[in-house]
């Protein structure tokens, strides 16, 4: 199929996670994404591993984020390499970087300089905290951003202290917003034929992730979130029964719904909680009552009672169960990429479907500089 971004060339100077996840999405949507990397060592993210797992010389995380891309090796401090990179920029549609403020100015590839090379480029910048203010030079790292943003007071119980989201959500959201900004900029460019600057930051993105609850905070007399005392409670701002409960053999999840209908279905007397307000104000008490009852039957028994009544509930699955489930298989979320030695690596595919097509690509992450020669030829970078 012809993918929506077919024909676009993206140069990725970005490293680590936020910028490169944006590059991955653009690649899956059809763009040709070329990483500009230091010779031999490549981008710093190649050395950042989770569970210490390395594949083909780079961390498994790097492979996850950088599949479906090419790599062009260039030392930006070497004048000849820089000259080639500038020739490449002249032919690109988009370039992205996440250097700290000042670095690209020193190299001579800041937005102003690049506009002179390519007056219709989309120039994308990722920072930790924006380019102004006292935090601009602090390290833009996911856990630090979560900790500064207030996000850690939303998960788990009220006596748990600050609890981070257990994934790099600031990086992930920021990368996702970066994609939106770059695509919107391409739409603008196609109208004006002029270059566009796109800027995102990890902190703004993780604040945007909290937009519903921060808006509530700004308008409720600035109360802070009140987490439930119940382990498994799902959301500091939602009423009972929202959360995870133990059953006789495992767990049961109850989302929002009419509490009286749920009480009846479970045979728990909740008549003391007549008003909807009380479902929030007395949620800990209500959850205790539900918890006591739910321990008496197995998850399957409860689901058999609740699901036919259209009560929003489910079991809890682990990867071992979920990733082999028929529902997962039916959606074809898994895909394999092929490493240089012929081995295959399994990962997930792009979550967006276009014109009934799932977007797959068997292309694995490149080795540092793997496509340097061919890119030199195709873009005529070494000729006089």
Partner 1 sequence: MKPLEDYLVVDFSQFLSGPSAGLRLADLGARVIKIERPETGDICRHLYTSNVIMNGESSVFHAINRNKESFTADLKNEADRQQVWELVKKADVVMHNYRPGVMERLGFDYESIKAVNPEVVYGEISGYGDVGPWKDKPGQDLLLQSLTGLTWLSGNDGGPVPMGLSIIDMLAGTHLAQGILACLVRRSVKGEGALVQVSMLESAYDLQFEAVTTYYYDGLLPQRTEKNNAHAYLGAPYGIYKTADGYMALAMGSIPQLAQLLKCNALLPYTEVAQAFHQRDEIKAILADHLQSDTTESWLSVLQPADIWCAEVFNWDTLMQQDGFKALNMVQEVQMQDGYQYQTTRCPIRIDGELLTSAKGSPALGQDTDKILQEIKN
Q: Nearest 5 degrees, angle CA 295-CA 282-CA 157?
A: 65
Q: Which alpha helices (DSSP H) does 229-371 contain, by range?
A: 259-266, 276-281, 283-294, 299-306, 319-322, 326-331
How many residues sit in the footprint of partner 1 (CB under 8 A)? 146
Distance in Å, CB of 145 to partner 1, minimum: 8
The rounded distance, in Å, linking the Cα atoms of 202 and 208 is: 10
Distance of closest approach, residue 122 Cβ to partner 1, in angstroms: 10
Binds partner 1 (CB under 8 A): choice among 9, 95, 121, 176:
176
Q: Is 53 in the site for partner 1 (CB under 8 A)?
A: yes
- Within 13 Å of residue 97, how many CA atoms lie on the same side as its CB? 18
Which residues make Cβ contacts (< 8 Å) with residue 36, sequence separation at least 6? 11, 12, 13, 72, 74, 76, 85, 88
Distance CA 146, CA 149 (A): 5
Near partner 1 by CB under 8 A: residue from 40, 79, 134, 271: 134
Residue 284 makes contact with partner 1 by CB under 8 A? no
Closer CB to partner 1, residue 306 or residue 375? 306
Q: Is 216 in the site for partner 1 (CB under 8 A)?
A: yes
Q: How far is the C-alpha of 275 from the C-alpha of 257, rounded, in Å?
A: 13
Q: What is the DSSP letter of 194?
A: S
Among 235, 293, 297, 367, binds partner 1 (CB under 8 A): 235
From the list 28, 159, 171, 208, the catalytic residue is: 171
Shortest separation between residue 315's beta carbon and partner 1, angstroms: 7
* Cα 134–chain centre separation: 26
Is 261 among the residues that bind partner 1 (CB under 8 A)?
no
Max CA distance (Å), the chain: 84
- Asked whether position 142 contacts partner 1 by CB under 8 A, the answer is yes
304 binds partner 1 (CB under 8 A): no
Q: State the binding string over 80-119 for partner 1 (x if CB under 8 A, else -).
A: ----------------------------------------
> Is 154 an interacting residue with respect to partner 1 (CB under 8 A)?
yes
Instruction: Tell me whether residue 90 or residue 136 sits nearer to partner 1 (CB atom).
Output: 136
Other CB atoms within 10 A of residue 98 CB: 26
C-beta closer to partner 1: residue 109 or 198: 198
Q: Tell me which stretch binds partner 1 (CB under 8 A): 33-41, 84-92, 193-201, 265-273.
A: 193-201
User: Which helix (H) or strand (E) is 217 found in, with range?
Assistant: helix 211-219
Residues 312-341 interacting with partner 1 (rule: CB under 8 A): 312-320, 322-323, 326-331, 333-334
- Per-residue HEC secondary structure of 107-133 comes to HCCCHHHHHHHCCCCEEEEEECCCCCC
Does the annotation mark 171 as catalytic? Answer: yes
Q: Which residue numbers are catalytic?
A: 171
């Amino acid at each position: 199929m012809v993918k929506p971004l077919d024909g676009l060339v993206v140069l990725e100077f970005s490293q680590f996670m936020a910028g490169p996840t944006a590059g991955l999405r653009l690649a899956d949507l059809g763009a040709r994404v070329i990483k500009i990397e230091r010779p031999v060592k490549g981008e710093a993210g190649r050395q950042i591993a989770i569970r210490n797992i390395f594949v083909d010389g780079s961390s498994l995380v790097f492979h996850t984020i950088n599949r479906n891309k090419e790599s062009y090796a260039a030392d930006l401090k070497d004048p000849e390499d820089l000259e080639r990179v500038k020739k490449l920029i002249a032919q690109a549609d988009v370039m992205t970087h996440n250097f700290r403020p000042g670095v690209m100015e020193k190299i001579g590839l800041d937005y102003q300089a690049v506009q002179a090379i390519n007056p219709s480029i989309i120039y994308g910048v990722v920072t930790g905290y924006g380019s102004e203010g006292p935090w601009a030079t602090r390290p833009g790292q996911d856990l630090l951003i979560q900790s500064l943003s207030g996000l850690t007071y939303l998960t788990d119980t009220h006596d748990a202290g600050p609890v981070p989201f257990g994934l790099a959500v600031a990086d992930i959201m920021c990368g996702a917003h970066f994609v939106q900004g770059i695509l919107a900029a391409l739409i603008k460019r196609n109208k004006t034929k002029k270059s566009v600057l796109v800027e995102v930051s990890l902190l703004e993105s993780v604040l945007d992730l909290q937009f519903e609850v921060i808006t509530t905070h700004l308008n409720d007399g600035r109360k802070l979130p009140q987490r439930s005392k119940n382990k498994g409670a799902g959301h500091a701002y939602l009423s009972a029964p929202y959360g995870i409960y133990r059953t006789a053999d495992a767990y049961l999840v109850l989302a929002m719904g009419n509490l009286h209908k749920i009480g009846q279905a479970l045979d728990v007397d909740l008549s003391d909680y007549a008003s909807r307000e009380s479902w929030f104000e007395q949620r800990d008490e209500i959850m205790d009552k539900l918890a006591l009852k739910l321990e008496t039957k197995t998850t399957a028994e409860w689901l058999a009672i609740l699901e036919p009544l259209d009560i929003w509930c489910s079991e809890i699955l682990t990867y071992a169960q979920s990733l082999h489930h028929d529902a997962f298989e039916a959606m074809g979320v898994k895909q394999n990429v092929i490493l240089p030695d012929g081995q295959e690596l399994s990962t997930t595919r792009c979550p967006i479907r276009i014109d009934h097509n799932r977007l797959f690509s068997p292309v694995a992450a490149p080795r540092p500089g793997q496509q340097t020669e061919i890119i030199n030829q195709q873009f005529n970078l070494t000729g006089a």
